[in-house]
Amino acid sequence: MRILLVEDDRLLGDGLKAGLTQAGYAVDWLRDGETAVAALSTEAFAAVVLDLGLPKRDGLSVLQWLRGRHDATPVLILTARDQLEDKVRGLDLGADDYVLKPFDLDEIAARLRALVRRAHGRPEPVLTLGEIELNPAARTVTRAGEAVELTPREFDLLHLLLQNAERVLTRRALEEQLYTWNDAVDSNALEVHIHHLRRKLGGELIRTVRGVGYMASATPSA
Amino acid sequence: MSTTTAYSLRRRLVWLLTSTVAAIWLLSVLVVYQRAHHEADELLDNQLTQVGETLLAIVAGGEVEHFVKELHEHARRYPVPIAFEIWHAEDGRTQRLVTSPGHAGFETTMAAGFSENPHQGERWRFYAVQDDDAEYRVVVGQAHAARERLAREIGLSLLLPAMLALPLMALAVWWVVSRALRPVDAVAQQVGALDAQALAPLDEAVPLPSEIVPLRTALNALIRRVAEAFDNERRFTADAAHELRTPLAALKVQAQVAMRAQADDSRQHALVQVIAGVDRMTHLVEQLLTLARVDPARQDIAPQSLDPAALIAEVCNEMRPQAQRQGQSLNVDAALGCTIAVAPAWLQIALRNLVDNALRYAGEGARIEVRLVPTASGCALSVADDGPGVVSELRTRLTARFVRGETEGEGCGLGLSIVARIAALSHARLKLDDGLPRADGGCGFAATLHFSHAPGRA
């Protein structure tokens, strides 16, 4: 799942990027408000982790801009200011959650999962399709109750497909959500991951929609 | 409003006004009493003269017998406050012819005109007169007490209403003073209603007497200063929270990343970051402590007359290795013979911060020049670099705490705050300008401290 991290502090940004990558996210890290606005206006992210005190453009202003264009991407705000009015203002401007520095890496990861889940309108933490169950928090997948071993990239791909079950996802949308700018993407990497998923989970789960992309579906193709 | 040492302005005014009026009243009563006494004397002396002359005319006219009879008749009905005696001289013998009813003769023989003599144990005033051939001699007298009684009555008739009026006047004064002091009460209430959390100046549109307006103006100036200081402190706390929590968050996250890292190189990277974080926190804490130490209340660090050239060279030598590690050149050009009044400890901290800023923010390979030049009013110590510079709009804010220029350099934003505070303590002026020219035509950053001559050397 691709996350945009906007944090001007080099040390904290570096740590968060590493930590969230460990937790299975694809993290793009920007250090000021203006480039964050530029990135958000052209690309899709599953969620934004936004620091408030940013150079060039303040975090709250980025948030306001984002909500101003009816972009519902979940936003988690990081702040060191514990004044209530700051918090209220952040939430009023459309922040989905709020974390006070210093925080726990696990807490950030958990809150991000909850935000993404809510954004997809699913209150329950576990994704189910047919006999497949995916637990984003534990990063585990079972097929008919049996645990299935997946690589992080395979897991993320399955996660995306299950989040958008019964809908066709284009190749480009999938790649955008899976890879950061720094990842060198092999032109047929996606096909390789799909192939592995089909081998591990059964051939019917993921359908190829020719010329468009892929779709996860509980009903086998006609 | 009232403490043990406070006194009531109202009570004081009422007391002062009432007692002053009472004193003036008393004084005027005394003067009137004196005047009355004098007037009574004159009046009664005239009366004595008239009575004496009349009596003499009567007895000289041979009406003595009839007169005496009439007199006794009259005296029964109207007691006369004047006593007299009539003497007759015949054949060289003088005898008392008549005395007024109820009076034995006077004890003394009196010369003509006015005299004062005792009679019946009291002091009396007498008037003696005789006819031209000295046959009859009339002496009239009156007790002095009568005069005093008259004067006293006049005095009392003035004093009594005053005594009665005094409490009334005190009440009136109390009322007037209370009314006049009402604006003071109003201001006191306004001040009392001030909220310590949200200090707002008193409403200057409310009309006040011109005597109280300066008090309100001064109060409002104070309130604004206090509110500003309060705001500054609040902002400082919020900023400090940010500046302290962010590196702590970074430390914690990096430590967690190191704990979870599967690969050795990513663990190594995270641990290096942890150490960098601790170094940064150390620098921040040092700077915060320095800022707290640069305090006008410090008595032990006093300005002294100083030629700073040696100190400048020493600080720059200390910092040159760091410059060399970063590929930067640090040049010093300090003129000798500049004498300024500054505490050496402060100058050292200020210069170290300026050079440290240049090393941090000017970037790798930058040229840094430290110069000390004499000026008309003293001398100027400048640290200039050919780094990216700071846009002029931002320069004015750089001396605020935790404000950094928009650069790649890592710092905590306190250096120029410290330098500005030292400048204020040393009566120096801190100017932030364009620095050395860059190859691309732009300019770096320069900070200059303008010191005045040490007193006595100008």
Concatenating the DSSP letter of every residue in B182-204 gives HHHHHHHHHHHT--SSS-----T
Instruction: Give which of B408, B327, B340 is closest to B366, Cα–Cα.
Output: B327
CATH 1.10.287 fits B213-292, yes or no: yes
- Examine the pLDDT at B79 and tell me if it is beyond 80: no
Q: Which residues contact A29 (CB under 8 A, 6 or more apart)?
A: A5, A6, A7, A13, A14, A16, A17
Tell me whether residues A11 and B273 touch, CB distance under 8 A. yes
**B382 vs B152: which has the higher pLDDT:** B382
In chain B, the percentage of residues whose pLDDT exceeds 90 is 20
Q: Which residues of chain A are within 8 Å of residue B241 when distances are taken between CB atoms?
A: 80-82
Fold of B9-154: Beta-Lactamase (3.30.450)
Given this chain, do its domains B9-154 and B297-452 carry the same CATH topology?
Answer: no
**Are A47 and A76 in contact, with CB atoms under 8 Å apart?**
yes
Task: Check CB contact of A80 with chain B, cutoff 8 Å.
Answer: yes
In this predicted structure, what is the pLDDT of residue A83?
Answer: 65
Average pLDDT of the segment spanning B166-192: 84
Give domain A127-216's CATH architecture: Orthogonal Bundle (1.10)
Rounded Cα–Cα distance for residues B249 and B273 (Å): 12
Closest Cα in chain B to A54: B406
A12: chain B residues, CB-CB within 8 Å: 246-247, 249-250, 253
Per-residue tokens: A133:
């169950």
pLDDT of residue B80: 59
| pLDDT value, residue B457 | 43
Distance from CA of B250 to the nearest CA of A (A): 4
Q: Mark the ranges of chain A whose per-residue pLDDT is less than 50.
A: 222
Fold type of domain A2-119: Rossmann fold (3.40.50)
Is A18 in the B-facing interface, judged by CB distances under 8 Å? yes
Beta strand A26-30 with A2-6 is parallel
Q: Please tell me which of the candidates A80, A83, A105 has its beta carbon nearest to residue B246.
A: A80
- Strands B83-90 and B93-99, by their bridges, are antiparallel
Nearest of B201, B218, B209 to residue B183 by alpha carbon: B209
Please spell the DSSP secondary structure of B431-454, one letter per residue: EEEEEEEPTTS-EEEEEEEEEEBP
Q: Give the model confidence (pLDDT) of A97-152 as tens digits.
A: 888 888 999 999 999 988 988 887 766 678 888 888 998 878 889 988 888 898 88
pLDDT of B113 > 70? The answer is: yes
Cβ neighbours around B279 below 10 Å, total: 12
Q: Using an 8 Å Cβ cutoff, are B385 and B445 in contact?
A: yes
- Range in A10-14, B132-136, B358-362, B429-433 with the lowest mean pLDDT: B132-136
Closest approach of B404 to chain A, Cα-based (Å): 10
Confidence of residue B329 (pLDDT cuts 50, 70, 90): very high
Measured in whole angstroms, how far is the alpha carbon of residue B124 from the centre of its chain?
A: 63
**Where exactly are the structural domains of chain B?**
9-154, 213-292, 297-452
ipTM over 0.85: no
Is residue A79 within 8 A of residue A100, CB to CB? The reply is yes
Closest partner residue to B242 (CB to CB) among A14, A53, A106 is A53
Phi and psi at B88, nearest 5°, equal -125, 130
**Three-class SS of residue B28?**
helix
pLDDT at B54 over 90: no
Which ranges of B294-406 does DSSP label H, i.e. alpha helix? 309-325, 344-361, 392-395
3-state secondary structure chain A: CEEEEECCCHHHHHHHHHHHHHCCCEEEEECCHHHHHHHHHHCCCCEEEEECCCCCCCHHHHHHHHHHCCCCCCEEEEECCCCHHHHHHHHHCCCCEEEECCCCHHHHHHHHHHHHHHHCCCCCCCEEECCEEEECCCCEEEECCEEECCCHHHHHHHHHHHHCCCCCEEHHHHHHHHCCCCCCCCCCHHHHHHHHHHHHHCCCCEEEECCCEEEECCCCCC
- DSSP-assigned letter for residue B113: E
Q: CB–CB of B250 and A11 under 8 A?
A: yes
CA distance A133 to chain B (A): 26
E strand intervals along B242-366: 304-306, 329-334, 340-342
Q: What is the pLDDT of residue A220?
A: 63
Q: Would you list the domain boundaries of chain A?
A: 2-119, 127-216
pLDDT, residue A40, reads 92
∠ CA(B323), CA(B327), CA(B333), 5° rounding?
50
Check residue A62 and give its pLDDT.
92
Backbone dihedral region of B334: left (phi > 0), alpha (psi from -120 to 50 degrees) or beta? beta
Using CA atoms, how far apart are residues A52 and A61, in angstroms rounded to an integer?
9
Domain spanning B297-452: CATH 3.30.565.10: yes
- pTM attached to this predicted model: 0.61
CA B158, CA B37: separation in Å to the nearest integer?
14
Instruction: Give the H/E segment covering residue B163.
Output: helix B144-192
Quote the pLDDT of residue B2. 43
Sequence-distant (6+) residues with CB within 8 A of A74 are A46, A47, A48, A96, A97, A112, A115, A116, A118, A119
Whether the pLDDT of residue B458 is over 60: the answer is no
Lowest-confidence region among A163-172, B4-13, B120-129:
B4-13
Which of the four pLDDT bands, split at 50, 70 and 90, describes residue B1? very low
Rounded distance between C-alpha atoms, residue A86 and residue A89, angstroms: 5
Between CA B15 and CA B170 the distance in angstroms is 8
- What residues of B are in contact with residue A14 (Cβ under 8 Å)? 250, 254, 273
Segments of B7-163 assigned E as strands: 83-90, 93-99, 113-119, 122-130, 136-143
DSSP state of B364: T
Q: Distance (Å) from the C-alpha of residue A103 to the closest C-alpha of chain B? A: 6
Of the partner residues B241, B245, B247, the one whose CB lies closest to the CB of residue A11 = B247
- Checking if the pLDDT of B453 tops 80, the result is no
pLDDT at B427: 86
Instruction: Write out pLDDT tens, residues B354-367.
Output: 999 999 998 888 99
Cβ-contact B36, B28 below 8 angstroms: no
